[in-house]
Amino acid sequence: MVTLVSELRPDSCVVAEVRPSPNQSERKDGALPDMIVLHYTGMRDNEAAIRTLCNPVSEVSAHYVVLQDGYIVQLVAESRRAWHAGVSYWAGQTDINSCSIGIEIANPGHDHGYPDFPRRQIAAVTALCRSILARHQIPADRVLAHSDIAPARKQDPGEKFPWKLLAESGIGLWVKPAPLIQMGQIYVLGDTNPAIEETQRLLARYGYGVTPTGYLDSPTRDAVAAFQRHFRPMRVDGVLDVSTTTTLKALLAARDARLNSIQPS
């Protein structure tokens, strides 16, 4: 049954207001949401951001918008395909909109000062995500940043977003970032080395769209920077260093351990 824009009803009790957006469609091939993608609005004016997400000319939308005071607006039903991911990739999938729920977090972003996310806002994001997880089977490693799925184009919600706090509430996957150290080999754009190929394989194994070649090309640099924004936020530079590689290996080990723990005996 098709959910018409005029029939939109809140999917969660944490939603304060519904503002139906026409920018939506059916999820393709009967896909069900198994991913949450977090964004920031990147605009100074919250109302302007919501108007953009509801303007048919913009051809963009999201399922939810979470304001700084914790007020949550739903724009698209979870059963429908919101247009939030754009050109993106994760773990072999390119139609991220069909398999995801998109949450826009009101924050002016890197181009407008990039303030910290208020506690009330993060509490609301946490409550919303927990509500979504109660309705959908979403693995921890598929709670992602917009920058994870589109690292060459996007940097939101950025290195200030408190992923650790969400993980402590059972949302997403997190490991303690390996400390920054001065010793050890580093690799930058244009370098070639077997160690680069190994890390490319690890990034691809986690889901990033990189090709293992041993050459640190622009897609690899962008993926490294996206990984750092999410999992090693104290330095985001796209440089492949010991801290980044060690954190990546720990993250994959944590994911594998989690998967093994839920496998039927």
Do residues 214 and 194 lie in contact, with contact meaning Cβ atoms separated by under 8 Å? Answer: yes
Single-letter amino acid, residue 219: P
Distances (CA, A) of 39 to 102, 103, 156, 243: 7, 6, 5, 26
Cα 133 off chain centre by? 15
Active-site residue among 7, 104, 168, 198?
104
Do residues 212 and 162 lie in contact, with contact meaning Cβ atoms separated by under 8 Å? Answer: no
Angle at 101 between CA 96 and CA 105, to 5 degrees: 110
User: Checking phi first, is residue 59 left (phi over 0); if not, alpha (psi -120 to 50) or beta?
Assistant: left
Do residues 204 and 221 lie in contact, with contact meaning Cβ atoms separated by under 8 Å? Answer: no
Question: Known catalytic residue: 198?
Answer: no
Distance, CA of 222 to CA of 96 (rounded, Å): 19
Do residues 228 and 148 lie in contact, with contact meaning Cβ atoms separated by under 8 Å? Answer: no
Distance, CA of 232 to CA of 264 (rounded, Å): 33
The gap between the terminal CA atoms of the chain, to the nearest Å, is 38
Distance, CA of 41 to CA of 230 (rounded, Å): 17
Catalytic site residues?
A: 104
